[in-house]
Amino acid sequence: MKCIYCGSEKNFNKEHVIPQFLGSFTPINPTIQVSDGLVCRQCNSVIFSALETEFTEDSWEGITGQMLNLTGSNSVRIRGMNVQMECLSGLGDNFFNEIFPFLKEEDGRLVVDVKPQVKVRNYAGQTGCQIFSLEALEKIRAESTQSKTKLDAFNRVKKRLKMSGKNNIAVFTRSNDPHDDSQLNGAIDLVRAYGVTYNERERKSAPISQDDIKRFVVKMQYTITRNVCRFIAKVAFNYFAYSALQGKKQSMLYQHPFDKIRRFILGDEGVRMKEIIVETSDDPITYHEKESGHRYVGHVIVFFQENGFIFSKLTFLGRKVYKVLLGKAKRDFLDNNFGCGHLFFPFNHSIHNLTQQPKENSTAEEIKESFGLFRRVDLSVK
Ligand SMILES: [Zn+2]
């Protein structure tokens, strides 16, 4: 047993192939187990967990994942360093006027879901902002009488809201009648129940119809940073490792051709970003997407051999596609069947094998079986 990243031979951890905030999957959730002895605790809980936080709070994919609330989390946190976003709600375009656009999936597309919410700038004294759905704040308060743990959770949010300062809070609600302020008044009472001295500066309203919501445009400008690339490279290598593991071929993961990607993921400044993330594009990955002109809104990961090198292509939530150089291919991998690919669809938690004949309702055993190094039977996928 030896960590495929740093080479450590002790203290192993469990490592999810798809980061948990991007969804969980059934009937299996691809995970490298402690007993597999492939990812150590230092890599998993120190290095990767910091990268994941940065990715979640400060990348297009991370924030979009949070907007979809795939984990049922109480709030969304936006660090605001590399991603700037605006949502045209008709009220203006600054912190106090702009409603935060939650998202939901509808007929294979992501659409805006306008939820009553409390936006907090500098939550707990940190830069960026935190967005709570009103529903979540109500729930945390209502449950605080149920147990000591729930009371602690309520007090924690209360304390952090207080630290944020009374001038950093914006409350948004919806009403069918423009003269009916009861929803808004209720929300302000709730904020006060959290101990915030809510100083009302201004009250505004804007008409928003169902059609308007459909036309909502969420604009995000973002920079793909080195740490975002390290995180993406890690997911690609984890997927490759998980596939190798299924065929009991994990010993090949320690080979030298993979040293460079390992070093990059662990933060070695000597490896340039371009050497690992060799291409980013908006082009679809799968044959189906190319044919239909419609991108999946799920996560797609594939790996394959090309000109003697092993590449992975991946996308989260169907936007930017990253091509990752995993390493040079040894002779064994020049076989035509070398490769594997899956679509992870977080809205119904399903996993679809992309490189073999797809099948409805596969069993856990069949899904597991669909991971491997030589699973690229259908050559139309690349
Ligand atoms: Zn390690």
Stretch 100-115: mean pLDDT: 90
Using CA of residue 155, residue 157, residue 160, residue 161, what is the dihedral sign? negative
DSSP state letters, 266-282: HT-TTS-HHHHEEEEES
Distance 77 CA to ligand 1 centre (A): 28
Model confidence at 100: pLDDT above 60: yes
Distance 264 CA to ligand 1 centre (A): 13
Residues of the chain with pLDDT > 90, as a percent, come to 69
Distance 66 CA to ligand 1 centre (A): 28
Distance 10 CA to ligand 1 centre (A): 9
Q: What is the pLDDT of residues 318-365, one digit of tens each?
A: 989 999 999 999 888 888 899 999 999 999 999 999 877 666 778 899
Q: How confident is the model at residue 69 (pLDDT cuts 50, 70, 90)?
A: very high
Q: What is the pLDDT of residue 92?
A: 58
Distance 16 CA to ligand 1 centre (A): 15
Model confidence at 89: pLDDT above 90: no
Model confidence at 93: pLDDT above 70: no
Distance 46 CA to ligand 1 centre (A): 10
State residue 151 phi and psi, 5-degree precision: -65, -40
Stretch 179-196: mean pLDDT: 94
Q: Which two tokens stand for residue 240?
A: 């490759």
Model confidence at 382: pLDDT above 50: no
Q: What's the rounded Cα separation, in Å, for the pair 145 and 134?
A: 19
Overall pTM > 0.75: yes
Stretch 259-280: mean pLDDT: 98
Q: What is the pLDDT of residues 116-130, one digit of tens each?
A: 999 999 999 888 899
Mean pLDDT of the chain: 91
